[in-house]
A and B are shown apart, each in its own frame.
Chain A
Amino acid sequence: MIIDLTQMQPGESGIIKEIQGGPGFARKLQSRGVRPEKKISKVSSHFWRGPQIIEIDNLEIAVGFGMARRILVEVER
């Protein structure tokens, strides 16, 4: 099923399917390795709509909550 990044559980992994938003936003994420068809796993999420920590290719990245909501991920549940 496809959910957004904020809905993933810490420790869960999936495949990025879509990044919603303008080309500038997509490019900004892409240049940091966040792009469709990449395997992604969630490390943790911070309280009160705080940053979401993800891991892609051995690299941890902190993504703001609003941005994370626009990253759609396919997970197996």
Chain B
Amino acid sequence: MKIENILLVGNPNVGKSAIFSRLTGAKVIISNYPGTTVEFTQGKLKLGDETVMIVDVPGTYTLEPTCKAEDVACRMVKEGGLVINIVDATNLERNLHLTLQLLERDIPVIVALNMWDDTKHRGIYIDVKKLEEELGVPVIPTCGLSGEGIKELIERLPQAKARSLPTSSDSQKWEKIGKIVEEVQKLTHHHHTLLERLEDLSIKPLTGLPIALGIIYCAFWVVRFIGENLISYIFEPLFTRLWLPLLIKLSATLGGGSFLHHILIGNFIEGKINFGQSFGLLTTGLFVPIAMVLPYIFSFYLILGLLEDFGYLPRLAVLMDNFMHHLGLHGYAIIPFILGLGCKVPGVLATRILEERREKFIAATLLAIGVPCMAQIAMIVGLVGQRGGEYVVIIFLVLFLLLIIKGLILNRVLKGSSPEILVEIPPYRIPQFNAVMKKLWMRLSGFLKEALPLVFLGVLFVNILYTLKIIDFFAYIFAPVLTLLWGLPKEAISALVVGFLRKDVAVGMLGPLNLTTKQLVIGSTILAVYFPCIATYMVLIRELGIKDTFKSTSIMIVVALVIGAVLNLIL
């Protein structure tokens, strides 16, 4: 049999992505919560002399979709190919339902009995040979995280069989599954481990809420601690001691007045190169992303990765469920928000785990205007923090209040109600060092590859706008809004224009404007709410459609106008 392409299909959070990464060596984000993969990822596997395409399909419970992520999965299965059905060995019964659905289709199927290592200490014994006989397709025990069984899985791919079983109803399937499980699985008693006790404590409201507060507090503290120290002990010294002398030489060679000097080095501030304010490609263009933003991106994704792999996020979602309902969402919508704190692009993508259009719209809109990304947060902390920590607190408090107010209003105004939460809570797993580091590296290199060019472009763009006097034109047009309504100097328009491209550069542009602290607070807040960056906007259009994106945009503009004016009045 010739294999053309391979699909990895299975329930959410059974380890499809881990197997995918083992098979292809490709790098994909793997976490311990359902819904990590919302879009398919492709990779290649060498089988003898041939290369076949492997697709990591989002998790699904059924071949009749109930949300966007499942819809992606179902369409892929329809297109055909060999299916590796990944089954969670610790939840055989529930997982076999999808297996039976697959066996009714005319597609070759092979089953990977994943999380095999977990069965032993959970007191689960499965007779693999018998299961193979019952299903009529090969069954291979695997462990995606350690790589156990992967070789055998590859070797036996050609034995995959299309059963085309007669179509049966759901209850017939459950009956059949009941019989199979009784035949092949034995459960023995096992002792509750410390982790399982912790699982209980962190999901019960009385103990769970204090634990959640503690974890969130610690997470913020650690992110800040690592970020700050990386900046002051590594990145800043690197720039001022090693890079600055080189730039001074370059500056002398280029000559102060030349165009190239202006683009590469930028303006002298008080007769010197100033990394924060000169706005040349090699000064601010490098300093902002590398020395101000990267350290925080690093520390944020390190902590997020640990929490994700441990399996904490779904528990937080349950604890937040009540609160989120007031905003028209259910608790699981906390996941896009948390991812959005890193970068809004994966945040908006993650709204695919939400079932209904109304929820998706609310979540995406709140995310776009209420949740600043880590690049922006780092810049606000770096820039506004110089005037005093309390001003940073004011900004985030205002953004948080705005998020709640907007959610309350949207929930009232939009027709319909928020659906209820229904989510599996995975067991806690001790994060593996290698896996956490691999994920961190993927996210960091993603930032460097995708954000760095845009930052350069942003800085270049600023210089061109200034050189061609286009900024003056915009400043003239928008002066009434900026000065009368928001109390900002009209030159601040440059930051708003660049904010379409990159928010970190935009916040950085407030630096050279000699703003008062009040103006800085207003400017930073408006930059966070008025419009998402171009990358986010593209995803918004793709996920919400033009019409809803337009609605969402109108809300953003109104909110920015209002909050700027309000802050101008009360601060």
Contacts and interface: CB of A to CB of B under 8 A. Distances in A.
B122 interface: yes
Interface string B202-229: 0111000000000000000000000000
A61 B319 contact: no
B240 interface: no
Contacts of B470: none
Contacts of B64: 27
B62 A62 contact: no
Interface residues of A, number: 31
Given A46-B318, A58-B90, A64 B330 contact: yes
B62 A44 contact: no
B174 A67 contact: no
Given A27-B170, A31-B61, A50 B205 contact: yes
B174 A46 contact: no
Contacts, number: 95
B94 A59 contact: yes
Interface residue SS majority, chain A: mixed
Contacts of B319: 46
A58 B196 CA distance: 11
B450 interface: no
Interface in B315-331: 317-319, 321-322, 330-331
A31 B97 contact: yes
Contacts of B317: 62
A33 B93 contact: yes
A28 to B, nearest CB: 6
B423 A61 contact: yes
A57 B187 CA distance: 10
Contacts of B425: 53, 59-62
Interface in A26-67: 27-33, 35, 43-51, 53, 57-67
A48 B204 CA distance: 14
Contacts of A27: 62, 64, 170
Nearest to A49: B322
B423 A44 contact: no
Given A33-B91, A51-B321, A58-B91, A28 B66 contact: yes
Which of A28, A57, A65 has its CB near the most chain B CB atoms (within 10 A)? A57
B421 interface: yes
A43 B204 contact: yes
Nearest to B64: A27
B420 interface: yes
Interface in B175-223: 199-200, 203-205
B170 A43 contact: no
B185 to A, nearest CB: 10
A29 B330 CA distance: 17
A33 B200 CA distance: 20
A47 B321 contact: no
Contact of A51 (B91, B122, B174, B421): B421
Given A48-B322, A50-B322, A59 B424 contact: yes
Nearest to A56: B94
B422 interface: yes
Given A29-B422, A33-B94, A57-B94, A64 B322 contact: no
Given A31-B62, A53-B318, A60 B424 contact: yes
Nearest to A53: B203
Nearest to B418: A64
Contacts of A48: 322
Contacts of B331: 51, 62
Contacts of A30: 97, 170, 174
B531 to A, nearest CB: 34
Contacts of A24: 66
Interface string A4-38: 00000010000000000000100111111101000
Given A28-B61, A59-B91, 15 more contacts: A28-B66, A29-B422, A33-B93, A44-B205, A47-B322, A49-B322, A53-B425, A58-B91, A60-B199, A60-B425, A61-B424, A63-B421, A63-B422, A66-B420, A67-B420
Interface of A: 10, 24, 27-33, 35, 43-51, 53, 57-67
Which 9 interchain pairs have the tightest Cβ spacing? Answer: A64-B420, A31-B61, A33-B94, A60-B425, A44-B204, A62-B318, A50-B322, A64-B421, A51-B321
